[in-house]
Chains A and B, each alone.
Chain A
Amino acid sequence: MTKEQGNTGKRIGVYICRCGSNISDYVDVDTVCSEVAKEKNVRLARVMMFACADSAQKEIVADITNEPLDAIVVASCSPKLHLHTFRAVAERGGLNPFNYVQVNIREQSSWAHSDNPPQATEKAFNLIKAGIARVDLAEPLMPVTIPAENSVLILGAGVAGMRSAIELADLGSQVFLVEREFFVGGRVAQWGKMATTDQTGEEIVTALYNQIRTRKNIQVYTGAHIISSKGSIGNFNLQIKVVPRYVKPPCDPQGFRKAIEACPVIVDDEFNFGLTKRKAIFHNYKSEFPALPVIDMANCTRCGECLKHCTGINLDQKEEIIDIHAGTIFLATGFNPYEPRPGEFGFGELSNVITLQQLKRLLELSKGEFRFREKKIESIAFIYCVGSRQVDGDNKYCSRYCCTSAIHAALQLKQEFNVPVIYHLNKGIRTYGKQEVLYAQSSAAGDVYLQFVEDEPLLVEIYGEQAKITINDLLTAGQEITVTADLVVLVTGMVPRDNIDLNRILKVPIGKDKFYNEIHPKLRPVETVIDGLVISGCCQGPRNIHESVSSSLAAVAKVYTFINKGEIQLEPTLAIVNPDACEWCGLCLAACPFDAIQMVETGKGKIAQIIEGNCKGCGMCTPVCPTEAIDLKGFTNMEIRSMIEAMSG
């Protein structure tokens, strides 16, 4: 027993999990169990094979009622996995869930110290003692419920964002769909015919947008981005800034067309990845949404030429700041196609080296014959894994979509444009699942597949009007082979979008691969460590459309469970003020980042009071209090002090 532990007389049950053998291979659980049984207030200690298994849970519930027990400790895996599992067990036994403490003896003992079983055992014992000390002092806590706004802010109107907007709207939520670009659709709008269904991007975006338009509870903002965020799950207060289009209906399409013609400014068209030019007033393709051109103010010279043709143009439109109140935030901000470094496989240096994204645009812009820079293309070499699976660079991951998409484009080149010779210089083709069929089709159509060794990069050189590529081909016993081609296509992977501001404002967790990171790929695949912030589509990592949409629908299901009841239960671990000790100095108010503290007058004088709906339970106010009058429920001063003592030996 530690000094701090009072004589609570609590009846505590301790369960020690073998986790199959994950724990018991390194921690001598039987010895720990018999030692633990001797601790004060411990009525029962048991070893279990899998404490989380249904039968084990039932056993604990039975113990709670039969013994009876007032509190339980489970020493098993990380509480991140099973805190809620066992809190629910405690509840089913009739205990307050906070009379349960989970001790992590797997991740932080048996696994971390598998090199030293005796010490892992000793540590496990100390950790369990600390758990017992904590549960002994633990007070029952009641959950706090707060109202949750049944509305969602979706950032990004690509396929993932648009598809989820429709579903959320139909499930009864108010949806704010915020797109940074001036047109919706995201990347898919750029791709033309796609794997594996041959649907075009335009078809898909049009179908989705038409659905969005018929739903009154979806509000779409284009040219908009988030500038601030306050609050938390259930009640986010967000601000978005809407950049003007400088164009507004009414104006007839003729007028718009003339206005575009009249504009004297010519810049690279990023929609076509610089393959074509556009004006400062522009739109991307005929059926684009919203069907209204836009003026790109970064390049507009305000010369006024367009004004002569169209009454809808107003160069003085001002940006707007809009306040949005949303229960959850849904990130669907997508990816960027990898942009090769200058000189990478000749990119930027040789005129006939392009990227897959450029090829996809070229295919869209071509009719009948396939030409590049006027020249009819008779042979093409695809170089795979550019910007992915890098041996030296940072992008260690496979971009997943590209093998299939490149092969699909190659088939289109062969079937629609009769390009006779196509080489695929790859690192091992990854047309997983049913996509394999495309690979088989392409091989049958006579495409040549050569595989290069990872650490021996290819050499791309100019060879007359063609490009010459030298490769050590794995498939022909490492022979050095050269191929020449009219056009080289770099099969580029996916990289995260630049979203520095958004990442900062929302504090989005970012993984090793620099994409957004989920809590757990199997247990909580669309949630982030920030409650109420879900992720979906390609902002989470490379995916094709089917997979992006699946993840966005999965995120819809999650959001629906958050907000459909109109209220959310908060963890009851909130700050609490001891009015007798408080002398109101205001330091806690200054320390609280959530405006959760207010001053109130009582008969005794001024004291601090917690506004529970605002309190997030961070505890930042506790160390600053000079009189130790403020405490954090679930992590009280007494509890932590007694844990320190218990752990110390």
Chain B
Amino acid sequence: MNTPKILVFSTEKISDPALDFAGLMKLHYPASVHAIVLPCSSSVRPEWIIHAFESGFKGVYIAADGSDCPYGESCIAKTAKIVERSHVLMKEKGIPTDRLRMAAVCSVCAEIFVKQINIFAEELNASLKKED
């Protein structure tokens, strides 16, 4: 069975190291999960998220810096705001808002990341099947 394509926005210093760590520990998650690394989760443009859905991704996951953000605590609120704005755009385009997920992933949170992304993939699968 093919798992749905998920785009992850990870961050150079915080969440991407967790993704690396997951690999190092050989924790598995679907290979349909692809990450783009940015300096900070507050630099994700809502338009990119829409672009991802329009290009064929079924889910988008923002692996946020959370309170660990090296650029300061305002990151939490700003990333939340980005999700909010994306939801508005998604509704406009008729994309179910639960296709976008966001969670803080710390630099050693490999297990948490893998668990969450597996759950996300399963849920996406279920909802996509329903759609068919």
A and B touch in the complex (CB under 8 A): yes
- A residues near B (Cβ < 8 Å) are 78-80, 104, 106-116, 119-120, 122-123, 126-127, 130, 507, 509, 511-512, 517, 529-530, 573, 591, 593-594, 616-620, 622-623, 628, 632, 635, 637, 640-641, 643-645, 647-649
Residue of A nearest to B13 (CB): A529
Q: Report if B24 contacts A (CB, 8 A).
A: yes
- Expressed in whole angstroms, the minimum distance between the Cβ of B126 and any Cβ of chain A is 20
- Expressed in whole angstroms, the minimum distance between the Cβ of A378 and any Cβ of chain B is 49
A107 near B23 with CB under 8 A, answer yes
Residue of A nearest to B60 (CB): A644
- Expressed in whole angstroms, the minimum distance between the Cβ of A162 and any Cβ of chain B is 29
Residue of B nearest to A625 (CB): B45
A644 near B55 with CB under 8 A, answer yes
Number of inter-chain CB pairs below 8 Å: 134
Q: Report if B107 contacts A (CB, 8 A).
A: yes
B71 near A593 with CB under 8 A, answer yes
B38 near A620 with CB under 8 A, answer no
B36 near A623 with CB under 8 A, answer no
Residue of B nearest to A105 (CB): B23
- Expressed in whole angstroms, the minimum distance between the Cβ of B114 and any Cβ of chain A is 9
B24 near A107 with CB under 8 A, answer yes
Contact sample, A vs B, 9 pairs, CB 8 Å cutoff: A109-B31, A112-B19, A113-B31, A512-B108, A529-B107, A591-B42, A622-B45, A623-B46, A641-B48
A112 near B74 with CB under 8 A, answer no
B27 near A112 with CB under 8 A, answer yes
Q: Which 5 A-B pairs have the closest CB atoms?
A: A619-B43, A107-B23, A119-B31, A111-B23, A107-B20
Q: Which B1-53 residues have C-beta < 8 A from chain A? A: 5, 7, 13-14, 16-17, 19-24, 26-32, 34-40, 42-48, 51-52
- Expressed in whole angstroms, the minimum distance between the Cβ of B129 and any Cβ of chain A is 20
**A643 CA to B107 CA, complexed, in Å:** 24
Chain B contact residues, majority secondary structure: mixed
Other 17 A-B pairs with CB < 8 A, given A112-B22, A640-B36: A107-B19, A112-B29, A119-B32, A120-B31, A130-B36, A618-B39, A618-B71, A619-B38, A619-B42, A623-B45, A623-B46, A632-B43, A637-B45, A640-B45, A641-B51, A648-B5, A648-B52
> Contacting A649 at CB < 8 Å: which of B5, B13, B20, B68?
B5
Q: Report if B75 contacts A (CB, 8 A).
A: yes
B71 near A616 with CB under 8 A, answer yes
> Contacting A632 at CB < 8 Å: which of B26, B39, B47, B107?
B39
Residue of A nearest to B46 (CB): A623
Given contacts A112-B23, A529-B14, A530-B70, contact A123 B43 (CB under 8 A): no
> Contacting A635 at CB < 8 Å: which of B14, B29, B38, B108?
B38
**A463 CA to B69 CA, complexed, in Å:** 55
- Expressed in whole angstroms, the minimum distance between the Cβ of B78 and any Cβ of chain A is 6
A111 near B26 with CB under 8 A, answer yes
* Chain A positions within 8 Å of B48 at CB level: 640-641, 644
- Expressed in whole angstroms, the minimum distance between the Cβ of B117 and any Cβ of chain A is 10
**A618 CA to B39 CA, complexed, in Å:** 5
Q: Report if B82 contacts A (CB, 8 A).
A: yes
B43 near A620 with CB under 8 A, answer yes
A645 near B34 with CB under 8 A, answer no
Residue of A nearest to B27 (CB): A112
**A640 CA to B37 CA, complexed, in Å:** 10
- Expressed in whole angstroms, the minimum distance between the Cβ of A88 and any Cβ of chain B is 19
Residue of A nearest to B14 (CB): A529
> Contacting B43 at CB < 8 Å: which of A113, A127, A623, A641?
A623
B17 near A619 with CB under 8 A, answer no
**A130 CA to B24 CA, complexed, in Å:** 22
Q: Which among A78, A116, A120 has the highest number of chain B CB atoms within 10 Å?
A: A78
Q: Report if B96 contacts A (CB, 8 A).
A: no
Given contacts A509-B107, A644-B52, contact A618 B42 (CB under 8 A): yes
* Chain B positions within 8 Å of A123 at CB level: 31-32, 34
Given contacts A113-B31, A509-B107, A620-B75, contact A573 B39 (CB under 8 A): yes
A112 near B26 with CB under 8 A, answer yes
* Chain B positions within 8 Å of A119 at CB level: 30-32
- Expressed in whole angstroms, the minimum distance between the Cβ of A158 and any Cβ of chain B is 26
- Expressed in whole angstroms, the minimum distance between the Cβ of B6 and any Cβ of chain A is 11
**A109 CA to B19 CA, complexed, in Å:** 10
- Expressed in whole angstroms, the minimum distance between the Cβ of B116 and any Cβ of chain A is 15
* Chain B positions within 8 Å of A618 at CB level: 39-40, 42-43, 71
- Expressed in whole angstroms, the minimum distance between the Cβ of A20 and any Cβ of chain B is 15
Given contacts A126-B34, A647-B34, A648-B52, contact A620 B40 (CB under 8 A): yes
- Expressed in whole angstroms, the minimum distance between the Cβ of B102 and any Cβ of chain A is 14
Residue of A nearest to B71 (CB): A618
Residue of A nearest to B21 (CB): A107
A643 near B52 with CB under 8 A, answer no
* Chain B positions within 8 Å of A617 at CB level: 39
A647 near B7 with CB under 8 A, answer yes
* Chain B positions within 8 Å of A647 at CB level: 7, 34, 36
**A644 CA to B60 CA, complexed, in Å:** 11
> Contacting B24 at CB < 8 Å: which of A111, A122, A530?
A111
B19 near A108 with CB under 8 A, answer yes
Q: Which B49-90 residues have C-beta < 8 A from chain A? A: 51-52, 55-57, 68-72, 74-75, 78, 82, 85
Residue of A nearest to B20 (CB): A107
Given contacts A529-B107, A622-B45, contact A115 B28 (CB under 8 A): yes
A645 near B55 with CB under 8 A, answer yes
**A620 CA to B27 CA, complexed, in Å:** 31
**A591 CA to B85 CA, complexed, in Å:** 15
A648 near B57 with CB under 8 A, answer yes
* Chain A positions within 8 Å of B51 at CB level: 641, 644-645
* Chain A positions within 8 Å of B39 at CB level: 573, 617-619, 632, 635
- Expressed in whole angstroms, the minimum distance between the Cβ of B7 and any Cβ of chain A is 7
* Chain A positions within 8 Å of B29 at CB level: 112
B36 near A643 with CB under 8 A, answer yes
- Expressed in whole angstroms, the minimum distance between the Cβ of A76 and any Cβ of chain B is 13
* Chain A positions within 8 Å of B20 at CB level: 78, 80, 104, 107-108
Residue of B nearest to A530 (CB): B70
**A637 CA to B36 CA, complexed, in Å:** 13
- Expressed in whole angstroms, the minimum distance between the Cβ of A202 and any Cβ of chain B is 39
Residue of B nearest to A117 (CB): B31
- Expressed in whole angstroms, the minimum distance between the Cβ of A395 and any Cβ of chain B is 17
**A107 CA to B22 CA, complexed, in Å:** 8
B108 near A591 with CB under 8 A, answer no
- Expressed in whole angstroms, the minimum distance between the Cβ of A630 and any Cβ of chain B is 11
> Contacting B70 at CB < 8 Å: which of A116, A127, A529, A591?
A529
* Chain A positions within 8 Å of B69 at CB level: 507
